[in-house]
Structure 1
Amino acid sequence: MKRLSKKRLTLAVVLVMTMIISACSAGNSNDEGTGSEAPLKVNIMTMYYTAEPPGPDNVVVQEFARKTNTELNITWVSPNSYGDKVNVTLASGDIPDLMLLDDPFTAQVRTMVQQGAFWDLTPFLKDYPNLMKFPEDSWTNTKQADGNNYGIPRVRPVEGGGFPYIRKDWLDKLGLAAPTTTDELYTVLKAFVEQDPDGNGKKDTIGYAGFVDQNGMAYFSTLVNAFTHTTGDWKEVDGKLVNVNLLPEMKEALQWLNRAYNEKLIPEDLAVLKNSQAKDMLKAGRAGGFQDTVEAAWEPTEELRKSDPNADFLPLVSLNGYVNKDSGFFGMFAIPKTVPEEKMKRLLELMDYGASDEGSDLASFGIKGTHYTEENGVKTVTEQAKKDIVAQQALGQVFIKYDKYLRAYRSGMPNDMLERNKKIIDEREKVSVPDPSTGLYSETNVTAGTELRKKIQDTKTKVILGKVPMSDWDDYVNKLKSDPDMLKITEEINASYAKRQEG
């Protein structure tokens, strides 16, 4: 009997130990405490800016999936064809769980929102603290016509966007201060052209490497905005939005540019110049200024410092008391209504983790010690990160936290420049001006706006190049004031504006 009792006792102990081990195994199916719950399968469509997209076995994608207990199936699309891919996907009705809508305000998206094709996330967002850290502008500017949010903004800073930057070392050499007005900027650019700032004894430098395209003022846009004192094509005047092309300030901007063109302060081929060609001029030390984000000024600076350690492109704080305030988003991730409510909430959890410090750093920089090193809060990427396609331009386009100073830093930038950029962003915040037309809708603008903008820009380009006299611009503006499409667009934009004001 005693031996039998021992056997029973031994069996009982084995059974208890088995249950404990089993429970421990279930409780540690991953180290994030998700229990034995099966991984959530998530289909995502987004764009990438790296040379090639991460593959399904990408180490960081896999690590992100492990930490969130998900299976991430990501369809990566080149930004060059992303708009077309969105149109085709939406039309097919087979919409992924999380889909980046690069333009949340197309007629197609608006119609589908009205038809109930996407989840209205407004009632749920308050439960996701990291998403709630996004700036109010990000949420306000992605609201649809009914005042609700049907997507998670691909968040971007509202400060630090594209604006002129110029060669500070050239300013110092010529004894000039950083310009704060367009008149002062003109004086600086003229000196850059005429006073041999690079010291090579030749008159071979250009003031500002801006250019236009057929759709708009392109890399002269913020310079023009400094005259109109608004961001974009619309300005509030006496409570109504007026197209900036009808304002006298636009004529002043064109006169400034025409004069700069005649005095060879800006490129002779500004109507056909490409972005890469303009950047090549900067990196070759031939141009003294350009328009880009705050941190992008480091790109030509870094290249020039290989041969000139004093080279320095300085982002300007403002001109004429103006600097642009950005919208706080670059597209949004929508969730189709075909996704059940419980899964929708899990998707919001996933995006909330992606907006945390840990999730965002993992997506953008990868695994510490493998893909980046960190010193004094500054992350430096390794060669392994490049091999593994770990970058803000890849998975960091899906999962990203809000960082006011995102546009202050680029890899390899010295700390003194980072701190200077942060101060510039802080100063811009005091005077920055938003685009009042963000998210507003005009049906006529959808059907006729593109062609109208091309005609407007064609006239502007001819005026700048001196192919037609300035009086032609006056005549054209008078025609625009009675143009049926312009009148209808203005009426519809203002109706949309009034509705938003009421909301």
Structure 2
Amino acid sequence: MRNHSRLGIAVASVAIASLALTACGASDAPANSNEGSSGEVTAPESITWMAMLHTPTTPEADGPIATALAEYTGTEINFQWVPDASKDEKINAALASDSLADITSLSNTTNTSVRQALKSGQFWDVEPYLKDYENLSKIDEKTIASARVDGHLYGVPVQKPIARYGVLVRQDWLDNLGLETPHTIEELSEVAVAFATQDPDGNGQNDTTGFIDRLESFKLGFKTLAGYFGAGNNFVVEDDKVIPTFQTDEFKEAMEWYRGLYEQGAINGEFVTMQKQNQQDAIAQGKGGIIVTGLFEAKNYMNLATSADPNTPMAWALINDITFEDVPRRIISDTNGGFGGWLAMSTSEVKDEAELKGILAFIDKLLDEEAFALMTNGIEDEHYTIDADGVVTISDQPKWEQEVQPYNSSRPSDIVTTFKSSTPYVDEGNEKMAENAEFAVVDPSAPLSSDAFDQSWSTIQQAANDAYNKYMVGQLDMAGYEDAIEKLDGQGLDTIIEELSASYAENN
């Protein structure tokens, strides 16, 4: 692993010298193409990349990771960073004005504007080319199947673990209250109420709750919890009919349970408006002891807490086997078969096939272990060290967070390799995410086609989200929620169900 991870100037120089990646180059390629005289395809000298930013700070354009990636790939990358909180607004505006980059990270796969743009010819269909690249040709077929829209692959699929979510519970709070680690919904309920009522941090104040949730509850946190009740992943197939999960009995049963916890103060009262950063801060500050999130996040909460107070007693239980009554063990796939979005190439910016092949060569290079290590750990001896057993230790956490962490979410794949880590919870999180794969529930609608879905789903999903929020805070009862959902039929939901069901019948 040491040889793969060290990325000094010497390694980078060798990498540049051996950049060429064999692809399907024609011998009569035009003079301005990225194909050499022998038919090799090389990455372009520079590209623009509209990428999502999941961290509070933006890395410097000439920072160490950008520089090292340029040295390794032979391509200068001009990142156009888009804060994740405003990604839909920014992407929608870029699509409407056709002011896209060479590569655009499209992470919201159900965004109506995105799906319409994919089908309208704004992005290249890359599937015919993937077979000609060493790394791109190895993308799992299940991931590709989830990434197709109307039978076409309008971007390189971002590869993710198939199911990353679980429940994180403050282990030190459990110990303080003499409670066992919960593994059922009933036990989780007891813990949530205890955290809200029994002073788990022992400070004599009534200042803690159970769950810390945020405004994406309907799409992420609660969605995962509803899965334990037997609810599906966005859609389910019942009697050959494809219907949204928010219409099902299992989802509504989970809603009733969750609202009961909310009414007992076991969920933060402001969750329907809480941003992700505020959620992270609340957890780090010890305001709540349960969070439904990626199992990889435990280390991040620990880092946030210890940055504020090195003597924090925080400890976490990582739980991936919550069950409910007689429902078999299951976990909602947050990446739907290991698919986390597209790296899409604009047809207006990427002018011809030769230019496209060059950019694919660049992405293929990012899938090498060397580039993956750069975007994951940074530069050896500058951001991390690695011992004889291959254990990676971040040597300067604030420096890593500033210079390296922003690139994590731009990796074309999260599964190139797994590094052993000295950071608490990293190895355990990786192991539990791997276990999840066996029990993952995917979205059956992903490979299906519906024009009404592409045109209306974002609006309909938001209306259902609003009804969920109103129910949760007591502005609607269950009858009011059901009435709000029923009204969506007249806004296009009935057509979506009809078209998805027809597409399902055709494909099955």
Q: Distance in 2 between matches of 1:348 and 1:73?
A: 16
Measured after TM superposition, the shift of residue 355 of structure 1 is 0.2
User: Helix, strand or coil for the counterpart of 1:119?
Assistant: coil
Aligned to 1:244: 245
Aligned to 1:330: 340
| Pairing partner for 2:144 from 130, 133, 139 | 139
Q: Distance in 2 between matches of 1:463 and 1:387?
A: 42
Aligned to 1:354: 366
| Pairing partner for 1:149 from 127, 134, 153 | 153
Measured after TM superposition, the shift of residue 335 of structure 1 is 2.9
Aligned to 1:219: 221
Aligned to 2:469: 461
- CA 1:496–1:393 in structure 2 vs 1: closer, same or farther (change >3 Å)? farther
- CA 1:121–1:323 in structure 2 vs 1: closer, same or farther (change >3 Å)? same
Measured after TM superposition, the shift of residue 184 of structure 1 is 2.2
> Which letter does structure 2 place at the counterpart of 1:185?
L
User: Helix, strand or coil for the counterpart of 1:207?
Assistant: strand
8 Å contact kept, 1:212–1:218: no
Whether 1:493 aligns to 2:495 is: no
> Which letter does structure 2 place at the counterpart of 1:275?
K
8 Å contact kept, 1:126–1:132: yes
Measured after TM superposition, the shift of residue 152 of structure 1 is 0.9
Aligned to 1:342: 354
Measured after TM superposition, the shift of residue 190 of structure 1 is 2.4
Q: Distance in 2 between matches of 1:451 and 1:91?
A: 17
Q: Distance in 2 between matches of 1:39 and 1:280?
A: 40
8 Å contact kept, 1:42–1:70: yes
Measured after TM superposition, the shift of residue 441 of structure 1 is 4.7
| Pairing partner for 1:372 from 384, 389, 392 | 384
Pairwise CA RMSD: 3.7
> Which letter does structure 2 place at the counterpart of 1:138?
T
The range that moved more, 262-271 or 79-88, is: 79-88
Aligned to 2:196: 193
Aligned to 2:287: 286
Whether 1:386 aligns to 2:399 is: yes
1:441-478 alpha-carbon deviations (Å, 9 max, x no partner): 5443455444444443343333333344444345556x
> Which letter does structure 2 place at the counterpart of 1:165?
L
Aligned to 2:8: none
- CA 1:139–1:392 in structure 2 vs 1: closer, same or farther (change >3 Å)? farther
Measured after TM superposition, the shift of residue 124 of structure 1 is 2.1
Aligned to 2:320: 316
| Pairing partner for 1:429 from 414, 427, 437 | 437
8 Å contact kept, 1:105–1:439: no
8 Å contact kept, 1:167–1:311: yes
Measured after TM superposition, the shift of residue 432 of structure 1 is 1.6
Measured after TM superposition, the shift of residue 362 of structure 1 is 2.7
Measured after TM superposition, the shift of residue 144 of structure 1 is 1.8
Whether 1:99 aligns to 2:104 is: yes
8 Å contact kept, 2:102–2:345: yes
Measured after TM superposition, the shift of residue 429 of structure 1 is 1.9
Q: Distance in 2 between matches of 1:96 and 1:227?
A: 42
% identical aligned pairs: 27
User: Helix, strand or coil for the counterpart of 1:290?
Assistant: strand
- CA 1:188–1:83 in structure 2 vs 1: closer, same or farther (change >3 Å)? closer
Q: Distance in 2 between matches of 1:310 and 1:109?
A: 40
User: Helix, strand or coil for the counterpart of 1:352?
Assistant: helix
Aligned to 2:310: 306
User: Helix, strand or coil for the counterpart of 1:198?
Assistant: coil
Aligned to 1:259: 260
In structure 2, runs of 5+ residues without a counterpart are: 1-12, 21-34, 37-41
- CA 1:87–1:205 in structure 2 vs 1: closer, same or farther (change >3 Å)? closer
8 Å contact kept, 1:151–1:332: yes
> Which letter does structure 2 place at the counterpart of 1:209?
I
- CA 1:102–1:44 in structure 2 vs 1: closer, same or farther (change >3 Å)? farther
- CA 1:431–1:151 in structure 2 vs 1: closer, same or farther (change >3 Å)? same
Q: Distance in 1 between matches of 2:110 and 2:46?
A: 25
User: Helix, strand or coil for the counterpart of 1:413?
Assistant: coil
Q: Distance in 2 between matches of 1:200 and 1:385?
A: 29
Aligned to 1:17: none
1:94-138 alpha-carbon deviations (Å, 9 max, x no partner): 654333334456555555555555433222212223223434333
> Which letter does structure 2 place at the counterpart of 1:380?
T
Q: Distance in 1 between matches of 2:255 and 2:449?
A: 28
Aligned length: 464
Q: Distance in 2 between matches of 1:193 and 1:219?
A: 19
Aligned to 1:269: 270
8 Å contact kept, 1:193–1:207: yes
1:337-371 alpha-carbon deviations (Å, 9 max, x no partner): 55433333232222111101012223444432233
- CA 1:144–1:42 in structure 2 vs 1: closer, same or farther (change >3 Å)? farther
User: Helix, strand or coil for the counterpart of 1:426?
Assistant: helix
Q: What TM-score, normalized to structure 2?
A: 0.78
- CA 1:498–1:379 in structure 2 vs 1: closer, same or farther (change >3 Å)? farther
8 Å contact kept, 1:359–1:400: no
| Pairing partner for 2:415 from 361, 381, 403 | 403
Aligned to 2:48: 44
8 Å contact kept, 2:112–2:457: no
In structure 1, runs of 5+ residues without a counterpart are: 1-27
Q: Distance in 1 between matches of 2:270 and 2:111?
A: 33
Aligned to 1:20: none
- CA 1:181–1:65 in structure 2 vs 1: closer, same or farther (change >3 Å)? same
Bigger-Rg structure (1/2): 1
Q: Distance in 1 between matches of 2:489 and 2:410?
A: 45
User: Helix, strand or coil for the counterpart of 2:202?
Assistant: coil
Aligned to 2:27: none
Measured after TM superposition, the shift of residue 52 of structure 1 is 4.7
> Which letter does structure 2 place at the counterpart of 1:193?
A
Whether 1:128 aligns to 2:128 is: no
- CA 1:255–1:404 in structure 2 vs 1: closer, same or farther (change >3 Å)? farther
Measured after TM superposition, the shift of residue 247 of structure 1 is 1.8
> Which letter does structure 2 place at the counterpart of 1:255?
E
8 Å contact kept, 2:199–2:205: yes
The range that moved more, 85-94 or 246-255, is: 85-94
8 Å contact kept, 2:377–2:394: yes
Measured after TM superposition, the shift of residue 293 of structure 1 is 0.9
Q: What pairs up with 1:29-68 in 2 under 5 angstroms? A: 32-33=17-18, 40-47=44-51, 48-68=53-73
1:399-441 alpha-carbon deviations (Å, 9 max, x no partner): 44442787x98x8723xx3332233223322212112233545
1:16-49 alpha-carbon deviations (Å, 9 max, x no partner): xxxxxxxxxxxx9986246997983332222234
User: Helix, strand or coil for the counterpart of 1:282?
Assistant: helix
